[in-house]
Amino acid sequence: MASLPTIGWIGAGRMGTAMAGFILAAGYPVLVCSRSAASRRKLVVRGARDAASPAECARGADLVFSSLPDDSALRAIALGPEGVLANARPGAVFVDTSTVSVEVSAEVAREADKLGVPYLRVPISGNAASAQRGEVTALVSGPRSAWDVVKPVAQTFSNAQVYLGTGDEARIMKLVVNALVVNFAQAMAEALALGRKAGLGWNLMLDTLAQSTLTSPWLKAKVALLKPRDFTPTMTTRLILKDIDLMLAAARANAVPMPLTAATRQLMQAVVGAGYGDEDYTAAIKLAEQLCGLSTDRVD
């Protein structure tokens, strides 16, 4: 029986740690590299080996995954003489699962092509909580032959995978999904404030939404958290602002008007200004409540 490929994992935040944990549980040898020693230890105690740098991770792995916060982080670990691409083994594949701009992704793709490293864009639709359950969707684009190699690994940490094309289609699809999520979150904030102000009970409204034609796995998960007024972040308001900026940049590049998303961006900035930047982005509800004179404390 052929041995399993060694997986390099760069970036052990909440999403990355959860996904790498599933890979470990499936029996793959894993090298982990992260700026946070505490995050690395969570995987090392489960059997991963520590890598001191992205270059060391790349030199020791057959497939290198990254889970990173933004464009600058992807550039830092992928490019340059100490980056993944310059140090990848012959035949290795580089797989980035981050939400980043098409421009930076294309920059990485050009360097990957120059160095002969297959590069897959696999942004993840989901959040830290769903990642811990393995209930995320992998949005995939890049060389199909590379995806055929990587797919069994991705199936360990995702319950759905969608192959979208050979370029940066997955990056755009992630923005499409998140645009719907963030605009719905803002619309929900306004709607719930209206209901409360008009005298509807908080739990009654949420129970009704969960049984309405609007119901979805996302809405059901949010209802479960909102009933006890739990705004522990699945994604912080500050972080969702980064994603909105990526949406609006893509809209400018493609001459697409997004007035609703532009307004949501300003409202989410107001949520940060109101002191809720490190809470879940559904804290837009608190701002909507404040604006119409309602208490933001727990309600029945």
Distance CA 56, CA 101 (A): 26
pTM for this structure? 0.94
Write out the two tokens for 265: 């961006």
Q: For residue 99, which of 199, 212, 246 has the smallest C-alpha distance?
A: 246
Q: Which residue in 285, 298, 277, 287 sits closest to 185, CA to CA?
A: 285
Residue range 3-59, pLDDT digits in tens: 899 999 999 999 999 999 999 999 999 999 998 888 889 999 999 999 999 999 999
Assess whether 264 and 161 both reside in one domain.
Answer: no
Cα gap 235→254, rounded to integer Å: 27
**C-alpha separations of 147 from 62, 63, 206, 284 in Å:** 14, 11, 40, 38
In a domain, 297, yes or no: no
Is the same domain home to 111 and 199? no
CATH number of the domain encompassing residue 245: 1.10.1040.10
- One domain for residues 162 and 16: yes
User: What is the number of domains present in the chain?
Assistant: 2
Write the CATH number for 127: 3.40.50.720
Residues 221, 218: Cα–Cα separation, whole Å: 5
Q: How far apart are CA 21 and CA 155, in angstroms?
A: 13
Rounded to an integer, what is the distance from CA 220 to the centroid of its chain? 19
pLDDT over threshold 60, residue 1: no
pLDDT, average across residues 212-241: 94
User: Which range marks the domain in which residue 57 is found?
Assistant: 7-167
Domain shared by 128 and 187, yes or no = no
Residue 298 lies in a domain: no
- Helix (H/G/I), strand (E/B), else coil: 34: coil
Is 300 domain-assigned? Answer: no
Per-residue pLDDT of 104-152, as tens digits, reads 999 999 999 999 999 999 999 999 889 999 999 999 999 999 999 999 9
Percentage of residues of the chain with pLDDT beyond 70:
98
72 touches 107 (CB < 8 A): no
The answer to whether the beta carbons of residues 31 and 61 sit under 8 Å apart is yes
